[in-house]
Amino acid sequence: MKLTVIGSGNMGGAIVRGLVQGSFFCPEDITVIDVHPAPLDTLKKDCPTLNVVVGNFDSVAEADIILLAVKPWLISTVITDIKFKMDYSRQMLISIAAGVNMETIESLLSKHSDTDGNPAIFRIIPNTAIAVRQSMTLITSKHATPEQNDLLLKIFNELGNAVFLEEDKIPAGTALTSCGIAYLFRYVRAATLAGVEMGFYPQQAQDMVINTMLGAAELLKTTGQNPETEIDKVTTPGGITIKGLNELEAHGFSDAIIKAMKASR
């Protein structure tokens, strides 16, 4: 199975780095296209058998899957450049462009001929943890067969966890997952700064915060408990944890998180 990825920026590069660690694509079956050589050179150093191309879209014709990893405002230009190289009867097109819905993509793909039909179109929203195969990836599709949907789910489940959503749920899901990873990083940063103020070296504090976060996530995932149930287990009457929790809420912690998520839709 051959894959062409258009765009090798932060997210495109992260996806490629994750995919070459999976079982669906050999590096030599992946072609990455960009108009800038520098990110391609970096990818090539990381994975020497990867195919990289500067500004030439010919490999699109040979691909089974085409992944658009470009900024939203470039989607129209890129689809215009590639659509006449595509075979809609067999190829799958994936876009990771936030805010560009499938109706828009379908319209851009029109070749003004009733015989062309439509390719299987997918929108996916991963997060940057895909580079280490730990992304929470959202998927929605149009004109895809059940087999194609199943294939995409299997590919991205190898790179973390993937779930299909109705397209109208994608913006809210993006706030929780793709934007949400940044909010978690900000918590790690803030907690690390607190640790430094309390006497730890920065890396030591960061390691403790990260491993605490990993443990908390695994505990909730394994037990399926509501977070409040686990919070109650460590908030003894008159104890230090409840004092800290009350400080968080006094400064609007929960309200800030909710507002941030809603602002990111």
Mean pLDDT rounded to a whole number for the chain: 94
Cα–Cα distance measured from residue 33 to residue 57, given in angstroms and rounded to the nearest whole number = 7
Query: Are 57 and 82 in contact, with CB atoms under 8 Å apart?
Result: yes
Instruction: Please give the residue range of the domain that contains residue 189.
Output: 180-263
In a domain, 81, yes or no: yes
The domain tally of the chain equals 2
In a domain, 69, yes or no: yes
What value does the CA radius of gyration of the chain take, rounded to a whole number of Å?
Answer: 22
Mean pLDDT of 75-92: 94
In a domain, 172, yes or no: no
The DSSP bridge partners found for residue 32 are 5, 52
162: CB partners within 8 A, 6+ apart: 124, 135, 136, 137, 138, 139, 152, 153, 156
In a domain, 13, yes or no: yes
Q: What pLDDT does residue 117 have? A: 76
Edge-to-edge order in the sheet of strand 51-54: 51-54, 30-34, 3-6, 65-68, 92-95, 120-125, 135-142, 160-164
The amino acid at residue 175 is A
0.75 surpassed by pTM:
yes
Query: Are 202 and 188 in contact, with CB atoms under 8 Å apart?
Result: no
| Lowest pLDDT segment from 80-89, 110-119, 160-169, 228-237 | 110-119
- 16 and 73 fall within a common domain: yes
In a domain, 227, yes or no: yes
